[in-house]
Homo-oligomer: A and B are copies of this chain.
Amino acid sequence: MKRTFHPGEFSWEGVQTAGYKATGERDGAGFRGVTRHVISGANGEPSQFQLRYFEVEPGGYTRLERHEHIHSVTVIRGKGYAVVGDTVHPIENFDHIYVGPMTLHQFVNTGDTPFGFLCIVDAQRDRAQPATPDEVARLERNAPTAGKTRV
């Protein structure tokens, strides 16, 4: 089956644009201006993974969070940075980011165009946990991440 890509809308045929969080949290709950597009794995495909596309508008960011499952992220649009643990990685086309288990991470758009990336996860996975205030404070004291997180 083909899901045709539409460059104008940067969308895929038959793939709905959804809110960032499947669990329903609203914009402002630690993230801003993010949409989620599940390209494969949400329609009964017999696979152990899901492929999603996330798009972050200018000024937007994903939630600073962690979980046991890993992320395999490939940037396909725009530019930004990824906070991963105690490090900040500037990223753009087609840089890849691996986020290991229970590692705090956040994706931030630094451009004036949409910032988008493919993100693969295990189909069976644990729920994400937002960073605690203590963890945010610790990242503020860590030179590479100071001023980089968004809450």
Contact = CB atoms under 8 A, between A and B. Distances in A.
Interface of A: 1-5, 7, 12, 39-41, 45-49, 51, 69-70, 72, 74, 76, 82, 84, 89, 91, 93-98, 100-101, 118, 120, 122-124
Contacts of A2: 82, 84, 89, 91, 95-98
Contacts of A69: 47
A88 to B, nearest CB: 10
Contacts of A70: 45-47
A51 B76 contact: no
26 contacts: A1-B84, A1-B100, A2-B89, A2-B96, A3-B96, A4-B95, A5-B94, A5-B95, A5-B96, A7-B93, A12-B94, A39-B72, A45-B70, A45-B72, A45-B98, A46-B70, A46-B101, A47-B69, A47-B70, A47-B120, A47-B122, A48-B48, A48-B49, A51-B120, A76-B76, A118-B118
